[in-house]
Copies of this chain bind each other. A is one copy, B any other.
């Protein structure tokens, strides 16, 4: 059927008996400790990373600098107390919460035909993760989604967890600052200060409470992706009134990559800040690869089930059936996938709208469904069976990520009829999912020039009832293959500011090849920048603390603190060392840009010392002089104030 493979696939180099964690994933971050913020119950401990700082040097005022708390997605891997063995997977902190609710049952084994068949296949022994437990499912008639609980007024441990997580111990940090010495109060005011945001209608409270989380989930404005079969997860929230999150895509293809590499990419991605990971594998052993990833992932895992369904029919889209797809959903839900991308908005009548596009349909899921629709001359089973899909989702609490199968693949195709028609349908499907209390987010483009980005956000908010928006970039130009993390990072920062809740990363390899670990890291860091820039612009409370702390370290020549507070301490240190490798340079009050003979930061300190010598009336004269007499006075050779 298909063209022969031109390059042989990399052979699978994976053995479940000897698999080990990537050492890079468990290396400690410099000057950092894993700390846990305690919740209302003993088993509710929310991880954060505390970055210690050195004291300010005497010449700058000799102040202590308390640790800064950073949102930590890296899971137990960076906890020296945790014992890590990827063959047994992570601990299951959520399990007691799930069991307590008493609305689920443990199954005898996988209830999907495919899941059972894979389990029974002895040829897969060497690849298989040795899971010691069977799947859970809602008891007959129960709905186990976080949205369902929220709408019944129940604050779950998951909701409390994310509330604590979002606040990042900001109050503790400011209190530590206040207590840090004679200048403490001033420091707390200084370092806690931030610019008012422009939130475009988002309304982020000063402190996130569990009750606020519940309300947001109940009204569909936020989701906590947390399958009951993923008890390893450290809950996180996606919504416009919370910190902007990022997603990293991993996954093998028919051409390359192995299970071990994908687990490595996952642990690598969360180390650098991926809040979610999508496993987009399309090659062999998708089922086994996914099991290894989920069992070792403290972050929610998303998939596109149609990819695997397609493998099951040997790549022939027209052979797909609702039954095969349904079995795939159950198979993956019982493994613990936290959200499914489902391209149910690709309607038959939208497909011909793509014919006049420059780049047609670029979503894999979208084109699979388009092909199916055309081959059968009817609406896809994703659309016609949507309510049955909802029934599966609520039995495991799998969230929808309603896929944008008709997203534009080029600037030319941005915001076109096909894209916007599909978006409207996604809004209608959202209402159906919400009727079932199933959590929903909406996927968005793609390739969009800057002036058309806001329209995407505005239409999505309007048509999808403020369900969280989850966008791929968007790329703001097509002319930079090899740098699409940057072309899209620009669009991602902007759409995050406008209200997008989660940004799906793009790596430098986009359009060119599968990302390796370096590409994954470049993609993550770029998207952490975009998400944080968006948090600052929205005015997310406390977002500026890290910027302020880092800038203060920079100003005070605390080089190590500057590196350690950054998104990538390793790279910052490496760059600095390239020019000034000596340890002494790390405490030097100069850098290689200006050299030791002239330094603007040093001069600034002299200005500060000078200003401190002015008395109140001199300061007042200065102000008045500025506002009233202005330039004439100076031109006459006048001197505005004298040094005391």
Contact = CB atoms under 8 A, between A and B. Distances in A.
A563 interface: yes
A457 interface: no
Nearest to A633: B349
A311 to B, nearest CB: 9
A363 interface: yes
Contacts of A447: 551
A412 interface: yes
Interface string A568-593: 10011011101111101100111111
B567 A480 contact: yes
B529 A412 contact: no
Contact of A533 (B414, B476, B625): B476
Nearest to A199: B451
A474 to B, nearest CB: 11
B580 A6 contact: yes
Given A479-B546, A580-B513, A643-B377, A7 B637 contact: no
Contact of A566 (B254, B349, B482): B482
A35 interface: no
Interface in A595-622: 595-598, 600-601, 603-608, 610-612, 614, 619, 622
Given A604-B361, A619-B352, A598 B451 contact: no
A359 B555 contact: yes
Nearest to A252: B595
A151 to B, nearest CB: 26
Interface stretch (A108-116, A176-184, A212-220, A483-491): A483-491
A565 B5 CA distance: 27
B513 A575 contact: yes
Nearest to A417: B626
A568 B481 CA distance: 7
A286 to B, nearest CB: 13
A211 interface: no
Contacts of A631: 425, 428
Contacts of A354: 604, 607-608
A195 B452 contact: yes
Q: What interface size band does chain A fall in?
A: 35 or more
A349 B640 contact: yes
A143 interface: no
A190 interface: yes
A367 interface: yes
Given A255-B580, A607-B355, A625-B349, A571 B451 contact: no
Contacts of A194: 412
A411 interface: yes
A435 interface: no
Interface in A1-60: 2-7
B450 A476 contact: no
A584 B6 contact: yes
A354 B604 CA distance: 8
B568 A529 contact: no
A434 interface: no
Interface stretch (A96-104, A297-305, A319-327, A368-376): A368-376
How many copies of this chain?
2
A568 B359 contact: no
A516 interface: yes
Contacts of A483: 525-526, 529, 567-568, 571
Interface in A280-319: 282-283, 310, 315, 317
Contacts of A359: 551-552, 554-555, 601, 604
A256 interface: yes
Interface stretch (A74-82, A123-131, A438-446, A534-542): A534-542
Contacts of A410: 547-548, 551, 554-555
A121 interface: no
Interface stretch (A87-95, A156-164, A331-339, A504-512): A504-512
A175 to B, nearest CB: 20
B593 A626 contact: no
A171 interface: no
B567 A5 contact: no
B580 A347 contact: no
B358 A552 contact: yes
A529 B490 contact: yes
A530 B597 contact: no
Contacts of A538: 451
A167 interface: no
A274 to B, nearest CB: 16
A576 B635 CA distance: 63
Given A359-B554, A591-B512, A352 B622 contact: yes
A253 B614 contact: no
A598 B315 contact: yes
A603 B614 CA distance: 74
A278 interface: no
Contacts of A585: 6-7
A249 to B, nearest CB: 10
Interface in A392-436: 409-412, 414-415, 421, 425, 428
A409 B451 contact: no
Given A450-B493, A493-B490, A539-B451, A595 B639 contact: no
A149 interface: no
27 contacts: A5-B595, A6-B582, A6-B596, A190-B358, A194-B412, A195-B415, A254-B598, A255-B579, A255-B596, A283-B595, A349-B641, A350-B626, A355-B610, A357-B604, A360-B604, A371-B607, A374-B610, A410-B548, A412-B544, A450-B534, A477-B547, A479-B532, A480-B529, A481-B566, A482-B572, A483-B571, A508-B575
Nearest 5 CB-CB pairs, A to B? A360-B604, A254-B595, A355-B611, A410-B551, A513-B579
Given A3-B589, A360-B601, A476-B537, 4 more contacts: A425-B631, A449-B533, A449-B536, A482-B572
